[in-house]
Chain A
Amino acid sequence: DQQVKQNSPSLSVQEGRISILNCDYTNSMFDYFLWYKKYPAEGPTFLISISSIKDKNEDGRFTVFLNKSAKHLSLHIVPSQPGDSAVYFCAASLTSGTYKYIFGTGTRLKVLA
C-alpha cells in the first residue's frame, strides 16, 4: 500500500523553464511534507518543507504548494538549472509520535541545457 505516490517517474525540462514535480498521498493524517533531492549513491538532501496549516512555502527558486482537499503537493523549480538534475522525493510525516517519513517513489528530473 503506497501511501505517498509520485506518478511521474521522470521529467525533462529545458533550462530556464519551470519544473513541476507532483506528489499525492492517501493518509489525511499527514501534517508535514518535505521534498528531498538525491543523487545516485548519495543520501537525500533536504530542499523545502511545508506544514499542513499552510498551502504554500517558498525558498528561492523552490516553491511547494499543498492542496489538502486533493491530498496533493507539488514542487515548482523556477528557473530550472542543469544542476537541478537529480531524483526528487516527496515525503509525508506525522508531527506527533515518531516523525517518521513515508517517501514517495521519486521523480527523475533532467534539465536540458
Chain B
Amino acid sequence: GAVVSQHPSRVICKSGTSVKIECRSLDFQATTMFWYRQFPKQSLMLMATSNEGSKATYEQGVEKDKFLINHASLTLSTLTVTSAHPEDSSFYICSARDLIRGYNEQFFGPGTRLTVL
C-alpha cells in the first residue's frame, strides 16, 4: 500500500517562532500533496494543494505568507508555520496522491500536533 509519513508527530513551540512539518511519500511518487488542519471535534479543512515543482494553491482564507509550502521533490512536501501564535495550535495532516498509478484516493500521513505556547 501507499505510505505517507509526517515529521515531527508532535511539536511544542513558543509564540513567534517558526515550525517546519515534513510530509513524505515513502513508496510512491506524489505529484500532488495536500495539507489539512483539524481543530478538536471538527472536520478536516483543506489548507492548500501542493504540486511538485510549482507554487502551492491555497484555499480561501488561508494566509500563504504564514503557511509556507514547498514541494521540492516527488516524495517530499513541507509546511512551515511562520511566526506561530497560539491560535495556530492544531492538528496538521498531509496527504498524497499516487497519480502515476492512477489512484483516486489520497493517502494520509499520521498527522502533526502543533501546540504554540
Contacts and interface: CB of A to CB of B under 8 A. Distances in A.
Interface residues of A, number: 22
Majority-rule SS of B interface residues: strand
Contacts of B97: 99
Interface stretch (A43-51, A68-76, A77-85): A43-51
Given A100-B49, A102-B46, A103-B44, A43 B105 contact: no
Contact of A49 (B36, B95, B105): B105
A100 B46 contact: yes
Contacts of B32: 98-99
B104 A93 contact: yes
A98 B93 contact: no
B28 interface: no
A102 B49 CA distance: 12
B73 interface: no
Nearest to A42: B110
Contacts of A106: 42-43
Interface string B26-47: 0000001010100000111110
B4 A43 contact: yes
Contacts of B95: 43
Contacts of A100: 34, 46, 49
Contacts of A104: 43
A49 B46 contact: no
Contacts of B109: 43
Counting chain B CB atoms within 10 Å of each CB, the highest count among A36, A45, A104 belongs to: A36
A78 to B, nearest CB: 23
A49 B43 CA distance: 19
Interface string B83-117: 00000000101010100000011111111010000
Nearest to B2: A46
Given A43-B109, A45-B108, A46-B105, 9 more contacts: A32-B104, A43-B110, A44-B44, A46-B108, A89-B43, A98-B49, A100-B46, A103-B43, A105-B42
Interface of B: 4, 6, 32, 34, 36, 42-46, 49, 57, 91, 93, 95, 97, 104-111, 113
